[in-house]
């Protein structure tokens, strides 16, 4: 994977601005129209709302989106709350709807709670889609899913079996309890365990609220009262370093296994120390980049054609295939596995 330098200036600016309107914008060119494909000369503005802007993963997704917008001549407004704030995301979508943006795409902290704002945008004639974390299907036309739910559930369980064996009690540290992706992955983990490793048991699921310190604290408290725990699944990139900190503080390295999702820049030191031996993710640059090409398909009036052929043309990513045409779900690809041997190859 080609290295990219993550802009620390951009991260700092996003953290400072928060809801005040921290955006990345570049003027662009061609556009289409939902009801009139002939409006190809109108300016296109796409609003891209991440779950929160204090995560290098989300910022990298914005950088990938900007790359695509530079290619396409679109204006990108990348803006989101500093923390996993559902109400703030809804407010941002409402603002973009009032500004009559061409398209809005979101990584949702809560599918149900954010669907009304997205549906209002849709009803106002704005193209709507989701990436990374979906909203309800009736409030958007397309969703770019980074991996299949089944594939992610299987990957995380298989990694844990390699580290802790195929029996025992396990803890899951998730994002917010309403996070749609995490909930779907956890359900698939349970199904896969039941079918393949019936002696593995997820005893509890705790919310880290996409916060490293809280993820650490809930893990510390749980492991102190449940010393029999064999391993901890961290199913969000912000949870993984927090869980690893807890494992180190309790002197449980090599005794309690950790695996799940991991952002290389946040988990690198723990991989090299052996606190965690492997974790997975996907390229945030690619998911941001691909999300813009999903919007392009809508703007160009080619969604029906794309569904008929079974894929969306996505620039340097090639063909992104539909895995559910009825629900408008497009697949990015397979997860990446990070270890101490390859983590330095990634700069997000």
Q: Are 265 and 11 in contact (CB under 8 A)?
A: no
Q: Mark whether 202 and 138 lie in a shared domain.
A: no
Indicate if 167 and 260 belong to the same structural domain.
yes
Please say whether the dihedral angle defined by the alpha carbons of residues 11, 120, 134 and 210, taken in this order, is positive or negative.
positive
Enumerate the H helices of 274-335 as residue ranges. Answer: 284-299, 303-309
Tokens at 256, concatenated: 């309690």
Q: What's the mean pLDDT when you consider all of the chain?
A: 90
Question: Both 81 and 127 in a single domain?
Answer: yes
| Contact predicate 179/236, CB 8 Å | yes
Token readout for 193 is 């365990």
Shared domain for 102 and 53, answered yes or no, is yes
Q: Which two tokens stand for residue 93?
A: 């979508």
Residue at 19 is within a domain? no
pLDDT at residue 70, rounded to an integer: 98
Spatial distance between the Cα atoms of 11 and 300, rounded to a whole number of angstroms: 32
In a domain, 15, yes or no: no
> Which of these three, 264, 281, 298, is where a domain ends?
281
pLDDT tens for 213-247 read 999 999 999 999 999 999 999 999 999 999 999 99
The pLDDT of residue 42 is 78
What is the dihedral angle through the alpha carbons of 1, 295, 45, 52, rounded to the nearest 10 degrees? -60
Q: What average pLDDT does the segment 88-98 reach?
A: 99
Range of the domain at 166: 149-281
Does any domain span residue 4?
Answer: no
Whether 164 and 142 share a structural domain: no
Confidence of residue 20 (pLDDT cuts 50, 70, 90): very low
Altogether, the residues listed in the chain come to a count of: 348
CATH of the domain at 176: 3.40.50.2300
**pLDDT above 90 (res 96):** yes
Do the domain assignments include residue 329?
yes
Q: Please tell me the pTM assigned to this model.
A: 0.80
Residue 312 resides in a domain: yes
Would you state the structure tokens that stand for residue 72, as one six-digit string?
Answer: 């396409």
- The least confident of 22-36, 63-77, 297-311 is 22-36
| Same domain, yes or no: 131 and 277 | no
Question: Which run of H or of E encompasses 320?
Answer: strand 319-324
Within a domain: 3: no
Is 133 in the same domain as 236? no
Distance CA 222, CA 97 (A): 43
Residue 327 DSSP SS3: coil
- Kindly report which listed range (12-26, 67-81, 167-181) carries the lowest average pLDDT score: 12-26
What are the distances in angstroms from CA 176 to CA 37, 86, 280, 338?
40, 10, 20, 24
The two structure tokens encoding residue 237: 């990139």
With 80 as the cut, is the pLDDT of residue 39 above it?
A: no
Give the DSSP letter string of 81-115: -SS--HHHHHHHHHHHHHTT-SEEEE--S-HHHHH
Confidence label for 52 from pLDDT (cuts 50, 70 and 90): very high
| Residues 125, 202 share a domain | no
Residue 347 belongs to some domain of the structure: no
Residue 209's closest CA among 19, 1, 55?
55
Dist CA 50 CA 166 (whole Å):
36
Based on the domain organization, do 64 and 142 belong to the same domain? yes
With 50 as the cut, is the pLDDT of residue 15 above it? no
Q: 298 and 263, same structural domain?
A: no
User: How many beta carbons lie within 10 A of that of residue 168, not counting itself?
Assistant: 17
What's the number of domains the chain is made of?
A: 2
Q: Is the separation of the CB atoms in 347 and 4 below 8 Å?
A: yes
Residues 171, 175: Cα–Cα separation, whole Å: 13
Q: How many CB atoms lie within 10 A of CB 148?
A: 20
pLDDT class of 335 with cuts at 50, 70, 90: confident
- For residue 347, name the pLDDT band (cuts at 50, 70, 90): confident
Q: What is the pLDDT of residues 64-89, one digit of tens each?
A: 999 999 999 999 999 999 998 999 99
> Is residue 139 situated within a structural domain?
yes
């Amino acid at each position: 994977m080609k290295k990219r330098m993550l802009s620390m200036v951009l991260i700092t600016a996003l953290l400072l601005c928060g809801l005040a309107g921290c955006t990345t914008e570049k003027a662009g060119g061609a556009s289409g129209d939902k009801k009139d494909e002939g409006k190809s000369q109108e300016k296109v503005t796409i609003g891209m709302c991440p779950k929160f802007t204090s995560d290098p993963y989300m910022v990298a997704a914005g950088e990938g989106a900007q790359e695509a917008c530079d290619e396409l001549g679109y204006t990108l407004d990348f803006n989101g709350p500093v923390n996993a704030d559902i109400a703030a995301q809804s407010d941002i979508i409402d603002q973009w709807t009032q500004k009559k943006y061409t398209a809005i795409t979101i990584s949702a902290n809560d599918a149900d709670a954010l669907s009304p704002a997205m549906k209002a945008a849709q009803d106002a004639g704005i193209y709507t889609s989701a990436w990374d974390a979906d909203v309800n299907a009736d409030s958007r036309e397309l969703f770019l899913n980074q991996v299949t739910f089944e594939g992610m559930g299987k990957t995380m369980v298989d990694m844990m079996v390699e580290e802790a064996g195929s029996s025992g009690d396990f803890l899951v540290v998730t994002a917010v309890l309403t996070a749609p992706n995490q909930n779907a992955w956890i359900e698939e983990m349970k199904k896969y365990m039941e079918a393949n490793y019936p002696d593995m048991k997820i005893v509890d699921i705790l919310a880290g609220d996409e916060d490293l310190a809280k993820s650490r604290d809930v893990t510390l408290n749980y492991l102190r009262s449940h010393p029999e725990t064999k391993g901890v699944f961290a199913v969000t990139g912000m949870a993984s370093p927090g869980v690893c900190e807890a494992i180190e503080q309790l002197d449980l390295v090599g005794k309690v296994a950790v695996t799940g999702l991991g952002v290389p820049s946040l988990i690198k030191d723990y991989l090299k120390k052996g606190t965690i031996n492997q974790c997975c993710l996907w390229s945030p640059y690619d998911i941001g980049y691909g999300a813009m090409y999903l919007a392009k398909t809508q703007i160009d009036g080619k969604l029906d054609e794309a569904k008929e052929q079974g894929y969306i043309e996505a620039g340097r990513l090639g063909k992104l295939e539909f895995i559910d045409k009825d629900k408008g779900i497009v697949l990015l690809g397979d997860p990446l596995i990070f270890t101490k041997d390859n983590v330095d190859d990634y700069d997000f």
